[in-house]
Chain A
Amino acid sequence: MLYSRIRRDEKLLLSELRDRGHETEKIDVRKEHFDVHEAPDAFEGVDLVLDRCLATSRSRYATEFVAHYDVPVVNHPRTAAICADKARNSLVLAEAGVPTPRTTVAFTKESALEAIENFGYPCVLKPVVGSWGRLMAKIDSRNAAEAILEHKETLGHYEHKVFYIQEFVEKPGRDMRVLATDGEPVAAMARSSEHWLTNAAKGATTESIAVTDEMRDLVERASEAVGGGLLGVDLMETGDEFTVHEVNHTVEFKALDEVTAVDVPATVVDWLEAKAAETPEAPT
């Protein structure tokens, strides 16, 4: 397991793996260095690497190196690269014909303001890299748009100058998270809040929900669009239909595990065992 912080999610997985008698190796990516020619000793004899890095940048690069060492890794670095970036995420969903909110990317304050005016108010401005609902802005007026864009352009890291603008989806006070393994739903929950942000990390209340046939179909297609793996597919209801706003590649599932009757870590480990069985022996 690649990690930099052991959250409850990682503890649940480690516990399940150990209970089944698997030898587990925790690899703290902060302590490794990744040579382009030679794999670090930590990867010797490893059957399968599970990326659970908390930092997206580490997840992306570490999985690239692990795949380069010909050690099977979930999720694949291609999936990580797509899911780590909201713009790429939106692009592959659109390419795959998966319903996803209308989204525009602009590179200057002026063009971003023009795009925002075209969307109308409210609309949403998101960082292309980020999580847990941080730095998301629901823009209600031109005055707010001008202020936020100026702040981002002046104070932000260069990635904040990639303005990712999205339609505001009038969801019914909740969105949905489906945990899936290679497109097969494990369990799902609704995340409800009075606030427009319904992330569990923002304090949304969570409840288990059934996966409908339509959700199942969207999850399968969204998963395939990003390259499969252990994923968190986020959906919003738009009347009788759904829209997929993003797919997460180092998905947290502790909140889901608390509300669902499904044994989430056991189901994930079943899938990991299957992945390890289908991959060739790792180099020793």
Chain B
Amino acid sequence: MVDCPECGAGVDLHDDLEVGEIVDCATCGAELEVIGEGPVDLDTAPELEEDWGE
């Protein structure tokens, strides 16, 4: 478990985490980007941009 950088609550993480993946904070709902794996580090994920997608 790692602290949410937005609200400070603990964020549950699954085992096969990848840098670049997005996880949600169950407490505040923030989208968080995994920026480090060893140890796991989270940052607030970038906001949706207009040219994102397929």
Contacts and interface: CB of A to CB of B under 8 A. Distances in A.
Interface in B1-54: 16, 18-22, 33-34, 45, 49-54
A226 to B, nearest CB: 13
Interface string A98-139: 000000000000000000000000000001011110110000
A3 B45 CA distance: 14
A180 to B, nearest CB: 14
Nearest to B51: A56
Nearest to B34: A6
Contact of B50 (A10, A26, A129): A129
A136 to B, nearest CB: 12
Given A232-B54, A248-B54, A249-B54, A55 B49 contact: yes
B50 A54 contact: no
Contacts of A166: none
Contacts, number: 60
Nearest to A129: B51
Contacts of B21: 5-6, 11
A181 to B, nearest CB: 16
A284 to B, nearest CB: 25
B20 A28 contact: yes
A134 to B, nearest CB: 8
Contact of A157 (B18, B50, B54): B50
Contacts of A232: 54
Interface of A: 3-7, 10-11, 14-15, 26, 28, 54-57, 127, 129-132, 134-135, 157, 201, 232, 248-252
Given A4-B20, A5-B20, A130-B51, 18 more contacts: A6-B20, A6-B21, A10-B20, A11-B16, A11-B21, A28-B19, A54-B52, A55-B51, A56-B53, A127-B50, A131-B53, A132-B53, A134-B53, A157-B50, A201-B53, A232-B54, A250-B54, A251-B54
